[in-house]
Amino acid sequence: MSTSERLDRRGRDLQSPLASSLSPLAWLVRARCALTSHWPEYAMEAAGLGLFMLSACMVVALLEHPSSPARQVLGDPSLRRLLIGLAMGVTAVTIIYSPWGKRSGAHLNPAVTLTFWRLGKVDGWDALFYAFAQFVGSVLGVALSAWILSRMIVADPSVNYVVTLPGERGWGVAFAAELVISFGMMLMVLLVSNRPAINRYTGLFAGTLVATYIAIEAPLSGMSMNPARSFGSALAADIWSDLWIYFTAPPIGMLLAAETYVRAKGLRAVLCCKLHHDNSKRCIFRCSYG
């Protein structure tokens, strides 16, 4: 048995009910076990969301920056938003079905990880490190896009570091919209990923929803569903006024979806928390796929 496997087994032992009475030192040991044995998954989550943010900045710059030939040819903003949605949907699908996405589960979103922790599928330390990695990945992805495209382009008001902001109808509509789309995304993930016969299509459903939401819902809230995604943009643009919407509505919406699913199907119906489980990659979660 390798060192990583021994640490992983030690970490799982500390997830038992007896772990709740462990000393602070034991909790630190538990954190070390998680970090030492599962750090590749954490890094994959950071890289996944980082690539998503890089793609978002590049696609929006291509289609919205005034000096872009594509922007000059495509005068209809609805058409440009549709194309952005398609591009980001394809990006999401590509990340989910990549070797790294198959291994980490491709949460790419602290609200997703929080919901699966609430459902008992993710250990507390893994949830914490996943969320931290997702925030880091978002920040680095936006920074990398500014370096590749030049800060002048990404900071232009037409791109504005792809900041998510409420639309003309205000923060109330934006909050409600974020809650609804987050509820819809998580409910879809639970319905599809927990059916072994169709689990492998979860990523396609997720990418389709991302594309649809950007095309239709983006004028209301900017279409985030993701606290880390919004934080990376807000940090680069130094715009903080409405960030609370994207830190509260997506987790609430996804937790409500989880509650709805559990009340209808039962907690045992939640088999795992990977968006794609029909693969040979290791699973670090409390998995019931066998």
Whether the CB-CB separation of 223 and 214 falls below 8 Å is answered with yes
Fold classified for 40-269 = Glycerol uptake facilitator protein (1.20.1080)
CA dihedral 240, 238, 231, 171 (to 10 degrees): 30
Whether the CB-CB separation of 141 and 147 falls below 8 Å is answered with no
* Mean of all residue pLDDT scores within the chain: 92
| Dihedral class, residue 96 (left if φ above 0, else alpha if ψ from -120 to 50, else beta) | alpha
Cβ atoms within 10 Å, residue 13: 12
pLDDT digits (tens, 9 = 90+) for 147-162: 999 999 999 999 999 9
Residue with structure tokens 């291994």?
103
Q: Please list the pLDDT of the chain residue by residue as tens digits (290 residues).
A: 444 444 455 444 444 434 445 677 777 888 889 899 999 999 999 999 999 999 999 999 999 999 999 999 998 999 999 999 999 999 999 999 999 999 999 999 999 999 999 999 999 999 999 999 999 999 999 999 999 999 999 999 999 999 999 999 999 999 999 999 999 999 999 999 999 999 999 999 999 999 999 999 999 999 999 999 999 999 999 999 999 999 999 999 999 999 999 999 999 999 999 999 888 999 999 999 86
* Half-sphere exposure for 54 (CA within 13 Å, toward CB): 16
Q: Spell out where 112-196 has E strands.
A: none
Vertex 29: Cα angle to 28 and 34 (nearest 5): 95
Q: Which residues 6+ apart lie within 8 Å of 7 measured at CB? A: 33, 36, 37
Domain ranges of the chain: 40-269
In angstroms, the CA 41 to CA 112 distance is: 15
Task: Give the pair of three-digit tokens for residue 258.
Answer: 């989880």
